[in-house]
Every structure is written in C-alpha cells, then in structure tokens.
Chain A
C-alpha cells in the first residue's frame, strides 16, 4: 500500500499544479490564453512538455514489454528513428506552423488548412478524421491509469476506482489550467520519468549483481540469444518503422503545441535536446526489458516465457483463438513493475510508481486538443463564438473536456483494452498518412483543398481497410507470413504474426506514399487557391508580405 500512497501524493501535486495555473489566468477568459497558454511557453517548459506529450504510457511500460519479447531492436525501431524524424519535423514544419499561427492567429491545424486552401467543409472532414484517430488514445489513457494504479497498490485499488481517480485528476487540471496547466504538469511528469529511467537502471543493476553476467547468460541460451541482435525483424520492417514518427507532427495535440512557444527560438533547444531525452528514457527501459528474460524465478515472467516458447513450437498446430490466448499471456508491459517489485526497496518502488503514473497519464494533451479542435473548428467556425462571445467559447471547451472524460471512462469500463490498443496502433499509421497535408500546405504553392480531401479520405479508408483485414484474417504463428495476394511470385499482401505486410513493408509506407501521390495528382487537376492567399503564405511577389 505504501507505493499507492506515493502515487496519491503525486496525483495531489499534479492537481495543485493545474489549479495554480488556473489562478495565473483566472481573470482571462480568452481562447488563446486557455487553449495555447497565451503563446507564452519558455524554452524548458516547451521542451519537456513537448517531449512528455509525445511519450505515452507506451514509452515506459510498452517499450520494456516490447523489448522483453523482441529484443534490442525496440530501440532502433522506435527510439533512434524518432530521435531523428521528430526533431527534423519540428525544425522544418513546427517552426513554420508557429510563424503562421503567430502571424494569423491560428489555434488549430484545421484553421490553417481552411485559410491556406480556402475551404470550409473540407476542413470539417479533416477535423472529423483527426478526432476519430485521437479518441482511442484518451480511452487508453483512462484504462492505463486504472490498470497501473491497481498494479501499484497490489490490487487493493480496483480498476474502476483507479480509472475514475486518474480521469478525475486529469480532467480537473485540464479543465482549470487549460494549456498552461497541462504544459506545467507535463514538464513535472517528464522530469519525473526521465529520473525514473536512470534510477530504475541503477537499482535493478545493483539488485541483479551487475548486467555482465546476465548478458552472457542470455547469449549462451539459443532461445534468448537472438534478443541481443535484431534478427527477429526483417530489414524491410525496420526501414518501414522510420515512417511512423512522421505521425508525431501530424497529431493535432503536437501541431497545436507548436503554437504555444513564446518565440521561435524556443524550438532550438527542443530540436537539439530531443534526441538526448529519447536516449535517457528509452535506453534503460529497452535494456531492462531485455534483461528481464533472465528473471525466470519470478512466476509472472516465467509464464510469459512459457507462452512465448509454446507459441514458437506449437503455434502452427494451434487454432487462431489458442494463439491469441498465448499472445495475451506474452504481453509484457508489466515487466518493469515486476523488476522493481523484486529489487527496489518499498519506498523507492512507490516513488518509481509515481514515475510510471506520470507516463500513463499522457492523455491530458489529447483531451485538451480535442476540446480545442471542437470549440475552434466546429463551435466557433459555425458561428458559436460570434453569437455567444469568446468567454462562452472557453466555457464550451471546458464543458467538452468533462464530456470527453465521462464518455472515455464509460467506454473504458466496458470495452476490452486490446481493441483500443489496436486502434492506437492504426492511428500512428493514419496520422503518418496525414503528414503530407502539412508538408503540402507549408511548402507547395500549387496544393489545393481537393488534393487535401483526397489525401484525408485515403488516410481514413486505408486505416479502416487494414483494421478490417487484420480482423478477418487471424494472425499466423511466428514464422513466415500468410500470403493473401501475390503477383508473379511477388508477395503483395500478407498477414504477419504482428500485423500486415504490403510488399514486405508495414502498411504505413504505402499509406503515406499513396497519400502524398493523391495530394499531388488531385491538386494538379483542380484549381489552386487565389493568388492573394498564396502570396500571403509564399514569398515571390515583390512588395507582398508573405510568411514562408
């Protein structure tokens, strides 16, 4: 119960930060102040908050779980590729979004698209698709809170209560503090879970008597030696994964966050230090996840290892349902908690439990982003602000936050988690497929609203098609994929144990490339925005004041 007390204290601190932020802006009922913290964030709050916003529960719990089953490849797949692509997207896209937001007062990406491409309902379609991809995150956040609190308290806090408590705390500081409260809480959380990684590594390393012996033992066993290499994934799969971080800048909560910086210089530290933050958080989590394979005397870990072995050996002769049952047993998101339980003193386990909660509670930015998008792109755009005033707009945003939280909690209590895990997995690919919209809006004068619509509809349909395909065709046993369609001996579409492959690549690659091609082709065949609009964005005409 002691770890749970630490976690409750942590939740109280987080709540206080949100209310403190509310006091700072208590007399301002302006949308820009509530939704963007008045575009006033300083360099370190901007860096840590942006990093914390990008790191969901997956960063700590999921990364070590993935590494437990797949080995060191997890770091190259998800961390080092993100360490390159995310700072680059902030450098090239984030800075331009910031400049346009500052110049023209945009609060959401859809506002920018509507202005840039002179469209209205197409902007609404983009809003709907973005919102549909974002909702599973919020539900997963509530579920993660309930599960983590239940695990940390040793089952004394039931899932329904843990989920409700976390949802209430997140809702409260987002409700009161808006973007300012969310950014401060995220900064606090990021510092906490960055420290968590280093402390966990040292404590577990000491507990295990150093890692040298464990690494050698893993290498000596044929079952675990591949975990210290990358032979469990194909180079094409590894290459495909570099497309996933393109989703980061296309996530509305990240695009919106780019608008909160006080000056463009605030991006500098973030661009440079982001890779170091990735290293500091992911390296310990991935390494410890791999090392957990040595802890065969922990019953829960032994069960996971047995399930993995059974799937590898007996997989082909099992039914799809039996394979799914084994896969569920293999889920290893709790290995870090199990390692801490084994090696950390109880007070430290509590402190580290708070660090885990910090990572799990990453749904705040998504809730705020969804509320911002609804109030700006729907309520204000369709006349609500003009009719009822700016204060009513902020009140609507706050009301929407309560509504989203209640709905997310109700769904989280009833629906099985794996459905939303899958939805989140698809959402990454979906947002990556939406990234050409930002590139076209900012770098290509000739792009049109119809091109943007084609790209958006494609992103939505392709995500749906992959989800349907994986639902209809059960995952095969570990080993070669099930080829569903081939042309002249070339595998076009396959069902793999982990998902889907198109020409041996993850679906995100063709989804993103086709999205970009559609945007270009359709734009060429449709009329471009007026010269006046294009000139407000792009330099070229003497005497015209453009931004880009």
Chain B
C-alpha cells in the first residue's frame, strides 16, 4: 500500500513537471528578480529531493543487498555463461547464433 502510494506520488511529480499554467507568465518576480516559472522549477527540484528521500526511507530495495550478502562471488563466480570464455559462448554451444 505504502509503495503504491509512493508510485502515485512519483507519477504526480512527473505530471507536475509540465507546468503549462506558468507557460507565458514571467510575473510575479520572486524576490524581485526570479521569474515565477524559474522559481517554480527550483521549488520542484527541492520537492523532488524530498520525494527521493521518501522513496529511500520507505521503498529501499534492501532485499538486493541481502541476497547478494556475503556470498558475493569474485569474477566468474557461479555463472554458467563465463565472462571470458576462450571462444564465444555461442561457439561453445554449437553455434546457436
């Protein structure tokens, strides 16, 4: 439920990027010199960082690290398709390609 809500927030954030409502407006000038359209996108960037923090806090894919865990294998570990075969894999398999 929490993750679904976060996905909706991310979707909403994408939609909010298309702020057609400030398209032709320069005023008000925030602090007397920042056009409203630019100020909106500066605030948008800050809100993005906050949403990222929420994602990290509530939807961090920690299962990835747990599954990798301490059993991380050095190069060429438990892969059936080796990184550095003498011949291309296809040739070893009888030329599937």
Contact = CB atoms under 8 A, between A and B. Distances in A.
A80 interface: yes
Contacts of A99: 64-65, 67-68
Interface in B26-70: 26-27, 29, 32-35, 37-38, 41-42, 44-46, 48-49, 52-53, 55-56, 60-62, 64-65, 67-68
Contacts of A380: 83-84
Given A105-B75, A548-B64, A271 B89 contact: no
Interface in A13-36: 31-32
Interface residues of B, number: 59
A72 B22 CA distance: 12
A101 to B, nearest CB: 9
Q: Which of A83, A214, A386 has the most CB of B within 10 A?
A: A83
A107 to B, nearest CB: 7
Interface in A205-232: 210-212, 214-216, 219, 225, 228-231
Nearest to B88: A120
B88 A272 contact: no
Contacts of A496: none
A532 interface: yes
A111 B48 CA distance: 33
A90 to B, nearest CB: 9
A98 B64 CA distance: 9
Contact of B80 (A76, A278, A376, A532): A532
Contacts of A66: none
Contacts of A81: 17
Chain A CB count within 10 A is highest, among B33, B71, B72, for: B33
A239 B97 contact: no
Contacts of B89: 114, 118-120
B84 A381 contact: yes
Contacts of B88: 120-121, 381-382
Interface string A89-133: 001000110110011111100010011001111100000000000
B56 A272 contact: yes
B94 interface: no
Contacts of B52: 87-88, 91, 271-272, 274-275
Nearest to B67: A547
B35 A229 contact: yes
A495 B35 CA distance: 31
Contact of A263 (B37, B42, B65, B74): B65
Interface in A258-296: 263-265, 268, 271-276, 278-279, 283, 286-287
Given A235-B23, A383-B85, A120 B42 contact: no
A111 B85 CA distance: 12
Nearest to A216: B29
A275 B84 contact: no
Contacts of B78: 104, 536
B64 A275 contact: no
Nearest to B97: A121
Nearest to B62: A264
A376 B46 CA distance: 40
Where chain A touches its partner, the secondary structure class is helix
B83 A381 contact: yes
B61 A95 contact: yes
A546 interface: yes
Contact of A76 (B17, B60, B73, B75): B17
Contacts of B65: 99, 263-265
A264 B64 contact: yes
A119 B89 CA distance: 7
A111 B38 CA distance: 42
B56 A75 contact: no
A54 to B, nearest CB: 15
Contacts of B55: 91, 271
B31 to A, nearest CB: 8
A386 B81 contact: no
B76 A80 contact: no
A385 interface: yes
Contact of A231 (B10, B23, B67): B23
Interface of B: 10, 13-14, 17-20, 22-27, 29, 32-35, 37-38, 41-42, 44-46, 48-49, 52-53, 55-56, 60-62, 64-65, 67-68, 71-81, 83-91, 97
The 5 closest A-B pairs by CB, nearest first: A105-B75, A120-B88, A228-B26, A211-B33, A99-B64
Interface of A: 31-32, 72-73, 75-76, 79-81, 83-84, 87-88, 91, 95-96, 98-99, 102-107, 111, 114-115, 118-122, 210-212, 214-216, 219, 225, 228-231, 235, 238-239, 242, 263-265, 268, 271-276, 278-279, 283, 286-287, 376, 380-383, 385-387, 532-533, 536, 545-548
28 contacts: A32-B74, A72-B35, A76-B19, A80-B45, A84-B13, A84-B14, A88-B52, A91-B55, A107-B75, A114-B89, A119-B89, A121-B97, A212-B32, A214-B33, A215-B35, A229-B22, A229-B35, A231-B23, A242-B14, A263-B65, A264-B64, A273-B49, A276-B49, A283-B38, A382-B87, A533-B80, A545-B67, A548-B64
